[in-house]
Amino acid sequence: MGFKKMLGAFGVGGPKVDTVLTEPRRRPGETLAGEVRITAADYAVDVQRVSLGLVARVEVEHGDGESAGALEFGRADAAGAFRLEAGEDRVLPFELALPWEAPITEVHGHPLHGMALGVRTELALAKAVDKGDLDPVAVVPLPSQERVLDAFDRLGFGFKGADLEYGRLHGVDQELPFYQEIEFSAPPAYAGRIGEVELTFVADPVGMAVVLEADRRGGLFGSSDQVFRLRVGHEEAVSLDWTAELARWLDDLTGGPSGHRAGYADHHGHGGDKGHGHGGGPGWAGVAAGAAVGVAAGVAGGMIAGEVLEEVFEDDEGDEED
């Protein structure tokens, strides 16, 4: 799968670039491999570098609400400086590591609505830089993550959508400047007691944090957000009975079939920030809904790991319509 585009920044007769991924479907922590195929220009050009970047659409909260931008969160060079002679083609192999915290975009062959992630090829000449097209990448879950997602399906949760939120989860070791929220509607048995549940994975080579945020309905205050997290190794996660764990969490959160709430976390007023706290269940930590998440007041204040690319996805959508 590849995209070919006349690099308009270099004028008529300039080089063309076709980026081909060997396997565009990878897991977090794996490596994307492929080739950048440069078709000769009608004239000699001095190439400064050929780079590839991982780009994702990220939601950013600010005083006026929320806006979406594109963030580069990984980069590799396919080549440094070289001269491309007139009529000369060039094939450049590359490898680009997917971070362990890379967001999931596909589960069991089904894309997650709301996710947009890809590899962007950048060709820099002496006096111009062309960002090139975006080559979509599918990130499928690790076996440990897949076990959790399968349990959500077995319990009757309905998938609603997914997005990436710019910011940091308090109390969770996190390298990327954003985290993924996979949104589910509550199972029918809990209708009226839970609105929606958001699932977040923060993985590393050893294990992962599983963070759940539930909108609990009813009671004196109308509704409240409850946040829970569990740190688990990948091997343990594969063998854990997640269906039973999640069912127990739901029952404790809502009072369960008997109407008696065992209690993972205390009741709090409405709020949506994720953080840390104390709770009762085996391994689960209950979180006060108002606990702080380290979200920067603005994008420029903290987006050091990547470049804001506001129009990458919009440009690609426009190209497809042409």
pLDDT tens, 263-306? 333 333 223 344 433 333 334 444 433 332 333 333 333 332 33
- Do 182 and 126 lie in one domain? The reply is no
Within this chain, do residues 97 and 219 fall inside the same structural domain, yes or no?
Answer: no
Q: Are residues 118 and 192 in the same domain?
A: no
166 and 101, same domain (yes or no): no
Residue at 295 is within a domain = no
Q: Is 108 left (phi over 0), alpha (psi -120 to 50) or beta?
A: left
Integer Cα distance of 122 and 77 in angstroms: 9
Domain membership flag for residue 300: no
15 shares its domain with 130: yes
pLDDT at residue 9 above 70?
A: no
Helix 143-154 vs helix 242-254: crossing angle, to nearest 10: 50
Q: Which residues of 195-220 are buried (b: 16+ CB within 10 A; e: fewer)?
A: eebbbbbbbbeebbbbbbbbbbbeee
94 and 180 assigned to the same domain: no
Tell me, yes or no, whether 18 lies in a domain: yes
Please tell me whether residues 98 and 149 are part of one structural domain: no
Q: Residues 11-20: pLDDT tens digits?
A: 566 788 899 9
For residue 28, what is the domain's CATH number? 2.60.40.640
Say yes or no: 156 and 111 in one domain: no
Q: Give the residue from 208, 276, 279, 263 showing the smallest Cα distance to 237.
A: 208
- Each residue of 75-115: pLDDT tens digit? 999 999 999 999 899 999 999 999 999 999 999 999 999 99
The predicted pLDDT at position 128 comes to 72
Residues near 288 by beta carbon (within 8 Å), at least 6 away in sequence: 227, 265, 266, 268, 275, 277
Per-residue pLDDT at 322: 45
pLDDT tens for 66-79 read 777 889 999 999 99
Report the alpha-carbon distance of residue 134 to residue 312 in Å, rounded: 8
Could you tell me if 248 and 239 are in contact, meaning their C-beta atoms sit under 8 angstroms apart? no
Q: Are residues 97 and 218 in the same domain?
A: no
* 24 and 128 inside one domain: yes
Instruction: Give this prediction's pTM.
Output: 0.77
Within-domain flag for 294: no
C-alpha span between 274 and 276 (Å, rounded): 7
Q: Are residues 156 and 243 in the same domain?
A: yes
Q: How many domains does the chain have?
A: 2
Give the per-residue pLDDT at 15.
85
- With vertex at residue 107, the alpha carbon angle to CA 106 and CA 108, rounded to the nearest 5 degrees, is 120
Q: For 159-187, what is the mean pLDDT?
A: 94
Euclidean distance between the first and the last CA atom of the chain, given in angstroms as a whole number: 19
* Measured distance CA(42)–CA(47) in Å, rounded: 14
Query: How far is it, in rounded angstroms, from Cα 30 to Cα 25?
Result: 10
Domain-located, residue 256: yes
CA distance 124 to 52: 11
Does one domain contain both 147 and 99?
no
Residue range of the domain that includes 105:
2-139+305-321
| Residue 248, phi-psi category: left (phi > 0), alpha (psi -120 to 50), beta (remainder) | alpha
Arithmetic mean of pLDDT over the chain: 77
